[in-house]
Amino acid sequence: MVSRFTAKRPDAPTSRHMFFFSIPYLAASFDLVENFFHLAFLENSLPVAQPWVALAAGFANAKWLLAAATLAACAVYALGNARRAAREKAAALSAAEDACNRN
């Protein structure tokens, strides 16, 4: 998969593709930071005070926002591919119909 994103081909991914590819990894890093906060709370090495809890909640909310953005981007990509495939199929059927009508 990585080779697909690093290969120098005409259909090589753009910076937009790389941005959407990196969103789940960013969400995973936010999850890791949130988990470290919770671990620190459980070990009593960090006081369970409002600012720390709010910061942990902020990382959790950002994680879920990025997860939802990932799912939305996948849905938009899939719908775009389905729409393109339907247009190509309609064009092929129209060309075949035209060829049949000429004979």
Helices 15-42 + 50-102 axis angle, to 10: 150
Extended beta strands in 1-103, E state: none
Tokens at 22, concatenated: 């990196």
Q: Where are the domains of the chain?
A: 14-102
The dihedral built from the CA positions of residue 7, 73, 34 and 50, taken in this order, carries a sign that is positive
Residue 2 has pLDDT above 60, yes or no: no
pLDDT tens digits, one per residue of 22-45: 999 999 999 999 999 999 999 988
Global model pTM greater than 0.75: no
pLDDT tens digits, one per residue of 46-86: 888 889 999 999 999 999 999 999 999 888 888 888 888 88
